[in-house]
Structure 1
Amino acid sequence: MSNHFSSDILVIGSGAAGLTLALQLARHGRVHVLSKNAVNEGSTWFAQGGIAAVLDDDDSIEAHVSDTLNAGGGLCHEDAVRFTVERSKGAIRWLIDQGVNFTREGSNGGYHLTQEGGHSHRRIIHSADATGEAVHSTLIDRVRAEPNIELFEDHVALNLITQADKGSPKLRCTGAYALNRRDDHVHVFQSRVVVLATGGASKVYLYTSNPDSASGDGIAMAWRAGCRVANMEFNQFHPTCLYHPRAKTFLITEALRGEGAYLRLPSGERFMTRFDERAELAPRDIVARAIDHEMKRLGCDCLYLDISHKPAEFISEHFPTVKARCLEFGIDITKEPIPVVPAAHYTCGGIMVDHHGQTDLLNLYAIGETSFTGLHGANR
């Protein structure tokens, strides 16, 4: 038996983008949030490395903008990049105000910043090596405590509801059909405003860092309803996923390379300087292609990421999640290198939107990984 639910704002997706928006809009009306699985099973929860923002006096907006444009292969939209980077510090401050516990360093209590590929400065704020879990768990707690937000877990959005709009040639989005996986019935969710925050589509690849839910549902629904999509050919591959028959989708955070880890061939030789002067800190697409090239040249199943030359105490403090997970597979990262392979990671394209997230349909918006804003070009 199907049910009918009505709200002021319907947010489809329960990752960082969807929950952040729900919290921002709860004071303006009743918000319904659809989560495809349990609320903590999306990509956000599993993100390790951190969030890039201009937080240090030695860094600058111009440097961050330049790094982003360069990493995007010249295909980013500079206005979108600048808009985002200029607001990065404010976004981090908002997360801190929500209660996210980012890693601090030293006696002065400042936040520890690390460096990742493609960045010319240390500008990655993080919570050890489990930043996604720290951010997502905080947002989930805030959403559950907000009386104006209702969360529907295990609801798979199937199709958008549209109707003709008086006085406009465009269609208007008025809701969505969603399958309740618990009772196996399709329910109707009607709303004045619908927001797609459904994440990416990298689960279409066999080898991916993404959970099973990242299957591009939102992009497909918007396209079927008449929205334009763009840059869908640009799927970013993360260079370093753990290579082990039982590991499935475990990512080895880029922050290891930011803190001095080396990529090595099976012989133990480093090789990245042959591909880029930035070596291990080149952008992800360059590092992933280099690894793929060497694996094919040598005919080997994987290469190796090695941080064992760093003190064991340092590794345990900065990378407790990676260390514990690798130990489950018999790999002690304080003593030996980690077998790694590239894997599909981030969908750089998506539903075309303007700077307000507006799609081609009236009252339908798209945010986060499922949208194409111009921020990401050929590479994130």
Structure 2
Amino acid sequence: MSAHGCPVIIGGGAAGLMAALCLAPRPVVLLCGGTLGFETASGWAQGGVAAAVGPDDDFALHTQDTLSAGAGLCDAAVVRRIIEAGPWAIDFLTRLGADFGRHANGTLALGLEAAHSRRRIVHAKDATGAEVMRVLINAVHAAEHITIREHTQATELAVRDNRVCAVHAATPAGALSIATSCAVIATGGIGGLFAHTTNPLGATGTGLALAARAGADLRDMEFVQFHPTALSCGLDPMPLVSEAVRGEGAVFIDNAGTQFMNGGDLAARDIVARAVAAKYAANDSVFLDARRVLPEKFPGIFATCRAQGIDPATQPVPVRPAAHYHMGGIAVNADCESSVAGLFACGEAAATGLHGANRLASNSLLEAMVTGRIVAQAVSGRTAEATGAPPPTRQASRHAPVVREVCSQSLGIYRNAPELEAAVARLRPLAAQSDGALVALLMAQSALRRRESRGAHTRADFPHTDPAQATSSTINLSGLADTGLNA
């Protein structure tokens, strides 16, 4: 199949694969930085897919839980649209062969996670992401309309008159240029920019940098969700201990073995992460007491712990917060199109308005599925003309150790103006040639501008939520023109 003029999808996680599948029968090119399915955050997701499919649940309840977690910044229309597609997403995956947990009577066995008012987490034990990716990858490999380009890293989006006209990429065989007027970014999140993360280390916001350098607006870049229960065992990235373990009865304890959450072990993630971080700040440690949890419910998590010399069935599990999910990303409209014509984004790379200031647990795989379909529907109505390939690609250098240090010091759970200003000063000289430094700079600038605490963004110097700031923030390179980043 010729790639000339086809829509180009950048990213091989759940959102990118869904977009590619839903574009059938239209030919599409799928670019994947490594081997398809290898080290994607989608594949590492443990908890499941949130969907209002239980007998005591409905769309209104799921919507309200999502809005409450989002701390005033969710787009209510987007929330309703995605939540109401939940049953479709589960049915789609089931028809592809996903083996979700079920009761003896065949009904879905639903899990409970933080800030959900009902059991609504559809799961495959503690490896739901891997199961979702398994069936999506099988379907993509079987799809004749998809050309898969593995080990192909997008390096630049060519734009003329604010319209996409080509995608440049690096391959083992050399540079590649694909002329197209429809490009989709589905590259995931930014957790790899932090020293403590549950994400693949390659999750450094490359898609966000591509979009920013192409002139696109980014939204809510300051909102980073820290998962409170990453396994503290010296591994990098840190293994995740799913929130669902607490949903089955695990509780937090400190060094003295005392429970300290006062029954709030399943509060919203930002609340729990701050409580855990406060313990560490006071020179205490935090453990998850899962001794009452049945090991067969979480075989992967228990096996990971045991491989590190920790048996959750008999001893507390050491945990600490780690960067886990980015609510911000490429600003998109209802069709998941950015401010650059023909440039779309879906999944974690997009800021759709679903998550607001704080993502509700397990809404991410749901969003990946639904926004992948939305993108496909929008792109299907476009002509992907081959408009020619412009100038050579930028060879971006890496500054990973410096960026991880800066993000961890200045963009962690607690932030303040002096540290954010110091981060901007350190990142600014690196951002012209480093995608990670550029993304971190945009995050720091956004965090500096939001002079309040809201959801996952906590300013120690502005500890209260300001009702006047209950709006999403937008940033782009034009606001940083003095940095030379457009060069």
**TM beyond 0.5:** yes
Residue 304 of structure 2 corresponds to residue 325 of structure 1 = yes
2:114 aligns with 117
Distance in 2 of aligned mates of 1:218 and 1:248 = 20
Greater shift, 41-50 or 127-136, is seen at 41-50
CA distances 1:340-365 after superposition (whole Å, capped 9, x unpaired): 00000101011111111011111111
2:290 aligns with 307
On the 8 A contact 1:173/1:361 being kept in 2, the answer is: yes
Among 87, 91, 94, the residue aligned to 2:92: 94
On the 8 A contact 1:263/1:305 being kept in 2, the answer is: yes
2:137 aligns with 140
**Letter paired with 2:338:** T
On the 8 A contact 1:36/1:213 being kept in 2, the answer is: no
- Pairs within 5 Å for 1:10-49: 10-27=8-25, 29-40=26-37, 41-49=39-47
2:413 aligns with none
Distance in 1 of aligned mates of 2:148 and 2:101 = 29
CA distances 1:267-315 after superposition (whole Å, capped 9, x unpaired): 1111112xxxx61110111110110011112x03x410111123xxx32
1:53 aligns with 51
Distance in 2 of aligned mates of 1:247 and 1:158 = 26
On the 8 A contact 2:163/2:181 being kept in 1, the answer is: no
Distance in 2 of aligned mates of 1:221 and 1:248 = 24
SS of structure 1 residue aligned to 2:7 = strand
**Letter paired with 1:68:** T
Among 155, 169, 172, the residue aligned to 1:178: 169
Distance of aligned partners of 1:202 and 1:247 in 2 relative to their CA distance in 1, 3 Å threshold: closer
1:287 aligns with 272
Among 111, 124, 139, the residue aligned to 1:127: 124
On the 8 A contact 2:232/2:238 being kept in 1, the answer is: no
1:232 aligns with 221
Among 306, 325, 344, the residue aligned to 1:346: 325
2:473 aligns with none
On the 8 A contact 2:12/2:30 being kept in 1, the answer is: yes
CA RMSD, 1 decimal:
1.3
Distance in 2 of aligned mates of 1:98 and 1:9 = 24
Q: Going by fraction, where is helix more abundant, 1 or 2?
A: 2
**Letter paired with 2:266:** L
Greater shift, 329-338 or 242-251, is seen at 242-251
On the 8 A contact 1:118/1:283 being kept in 2, the answer is: yes
Residue 178 of structure 2 corresponds to residue 193 of structure 1 = no
Distance in 1 of aligned mates of 2:109 and 2:251 = 21
Residue 254 of structure 2 corresponds to residue 265 of structure 1 = yes
**Letter paired with 2:346:** I
2:196 aligns with 207
Distance of aligned partners of 1:248 and 1:352 in 2 relative to their CA distance in 1, 3 Å threshold: closer
**Letter paired with 2:298:** F
2:410 aligns with none
**Letter paired with 1:128:** K
- Tell me the CA shift for residue 92 of structure 1: 1.2
2:358 aligns with 379
On the 8 A contact 2:197/2:236 being kept in 1, the answer is: no
**Under a length normalisation based on structure 1, what TM-score does the superposition of the two structures give?**
0.91
- Pairs within 5 Å for 1:56-75: 56-75=54-73
Q: Which runs of 5+ in 1 are unaligned?
A: 165-170
Distance in 1 of aligned mates of 2:32 and 2:242 = 26
Distance in 2 of aligned mates of 1:235 and 1:160 = 26
Distance of aligned partners of 1:247 and 1:323 in 2 relative to their CA distance in 1, 3 Å threshold: farther
Distance in 2 of aligned mates of 1:247 and 1:337 = 21
On the 8 A contact 2:191/2:201 being kept in 1, the answer is: no
On the 8 A contact 1:7/1:32 being kept in 2, the answer is: no
Distance in 2 of aligned mates of 1:125 and 1:7 = 38
1:168 aligns with none
Distance in 2 of aligned mates of 1:202 and 1:293 = 21
On the 8 A contact 1:54/1:60 being kept in 2, the answer is: yes
Residue 147 of structure 2 corresponds to residue 150 of structure 1 = yes
- Tell me the CA shift for residue 136 of structure 1: 0.4
- Tell me the CA shift for residue 247 of structure 1: 5.7
Distance in 1 of aligned mates of 2:32 and 2:88 = 27
Distance in 2 of aligned mates of 1:54 and 1:175 = 40
- Tell me the CA shift for residue 261 of structure 1: 0.6
CA distances 1:47-90 after superposition (whole Å, capped 9, x unpaired): 11101110112011111111111111111111111111111111
- Tell me the CA shift for residue 5 of structure 1: 4.2
**Under a length normalisation based on structure 2, what TM-score does the superposition of the two structures give?**
0.72
Distance in 1 of aligned mates of 2:63 and 2:351 = 18
On the 8 A contact 1:34/1:151 being kept in 2, the answer is: yes
On the 8 A contact 2:201/2:237 being kept in 1, the answer is: no
Distance in 2 of aligned mates of 1:242 and 1:161 = 41
Distance in 1 of aligned mates of 2:216 and 2:237 = 34
Distance in 1 of aligned mates of 2:35 and 2:346 = 20
